[in-house]
Homo-oligomer: A and B are copies of this chain.
Amino acid sequence: MKYKLGLIGCGTVGQGLLEILDKKGDRLKKDFGFEAKVVAITDKLKGTLMVPAGIDNKKVLALLAQGKTLGDYRPGKKPIEMDPLDVITACGADIIAELTYTNIKTGEPATSYIKKALQAGKHVVTSNKGPAALHFRELQDLARKKKVYFRFEGTVMSGTPVFTLFENGFAGNTVREIKGILNGTTNFILSKMEQDNMEYGDALALAQKLGYAEADPTADVEGFDALAKVVILSNVILGGNIKPSDIKPEGISSITRPMVLNAKQEGCRYKLIAQTKRDGAEIIASVAPQKLLLSDPLAGIMGTQNALTFDLDLLGKVTIQGPGAGKLETGDSILQDMLAIHRDLR
């Protein structure tokens, strides 16, 4: 089946996706009968490109690598000036990949883009945590009404399968609890504090230097990023209906080197743990540092890796560990979402 794809946002994830489609296109066609032709790309900083016959992904990647814009794709032609909301409806795409930046407070402008696309009967795939954390029910209902898909594998643990794993591997199981390390930045900092005996501030500075933490690290270190993810898991997997503002996260900024070293001597390790479970009609979710026994599967997760333990009534505990961020890793989440749609439709 051939799909026409529109990219709203073409930063790291968008370029990762273009790279994957360029590299894997032939194989995806041969192995799964899946073909995705990019017909539009729009990005606040890089401009807008619409090519109904299909964009040359390699050419776009080369332009962007040289610091050029999408307007340079067709030299001499006037750059397209169009609101992304209009690109969504004008470009003729079947699938919209919403890849703009995350705003966890408002979910905008991503939520508006997603609604517009679903309203227009287009499937939406996204790795943006804002819309899924704030408006999952509404967007899911709209998608169902319009008989299209709304998928967001990359919102939790990038391309490491979480929702796909749950849907396909745990069907029929009751999830008793979900517990995980869902933020790579804080896990890196805690790992460095223990393994290299660093102070919190020095470990944070190193994380910033390596590009794992942002200049303003609040969203990571105070637990807001993990919070958004645990809200998504609560609503999607446990059938809850909670909002990020329902939970007050506790971050790692209060964890000191002596605390980390004392824990080590006790055979324990601090981890920023996001967890959620059902208690009757209620969801009990939290994000807070916990001192885990080293025998806990989550205690061994070091560096920027993420992991999630599902406690299931038939299988007991199953843990998946993998990357939580990254260009190709998150780009792959968008591909996996499109392939999941393709498997259902073909």
Residues of A near any B CB (own CB < 8 A) = 20, 24, 27-28, 31-32, 159-161, 164-165, 167-173, 295, 297, 299-300, 302, 314-323, 326, 328-329, 331-332, 335-336, 339-340, 343
Contact assessment for A171 and B339 in the assembled complex, using a CB-CB cutoff below 8 Å = yes
Complex Cα–Cα for A164 and B31 (A) = 16
Residue in B28, B31, B319, B335 whose beta carbon sits within 8 Å of that of A320 in the complex: B319
A340 and B172 CA atoms in complex are apart in Å by 12
- Which of B159, B315, B335, B336 contacts A332 (CB under 8 A)? B315
Determine whether the beta carbon of A27 is less than 8 Å from that of B172: yes
**Smallest beta-carbon distance A52→chain B, Å:** 25
Contact of A168 (CB < 8 Å), options: B168, B316, B319, B323: B168
- Set of chain B residues within 8 Å of A335, measured between Cβ atoms: 171-172
Complex-state Cα separation, A92 to B339, whole angstroms: 35
Name the B residues within 8 Å of A321 (CB-CB): 297, 318-321
- Tell me whether A332 and B300 are in contact (CB under 8 A): no
| Further 10 A-B residue pairs, CB within 8 A, beyond A20-B314, A159-B314, A315-B329 | A28-B172, A32-B172, A160-B315, A161-B170, A171-B335, A171-B339, A315-B332, A318-B320, A319-B320, A321-B321
Contacts of A173 in B (CB 8 A): 332
Residues of B within 8 A of A329 (CB): 314-316
Cα(A24)–Cα(B171), bound, Å: 11
In the bound complex, how far is the Cα of B172 from the Cα of A323, in angstroms? 17
- Whole-angstrom CA separation of A267 from B321 in the bound complex: 22
Q: Are A323 and B332 in contact (CB under 8 A)?
A: no
Q: Which residues of B contact A340 (CB under 8 A)?
A: 168
A302 to B328, CA, bound (A): 32
Q: Is the CB of B317 within 8 A of A322?
A: yes
With a CB–CB cut-off of 8 A, which chain B residues contact A165? 161, 165, 168-169
- 26 A–B pairs (Cβ distance < 8 Å), ordered by A: A20-B314, A24-B172, A31-B172, A32-B172, A159-B315, A160-B169, A161-B165, A161-B168, A161-B318, A164-B168, A164-B169, A165-B165, A167-B168, A169-B336, A171-B335, A171-B336, A171-B339, A172-B336, A314-B329, A316-B329, A318-B321, A318-B323, A319-B319, A319-B322, A321-B321, A343-B343
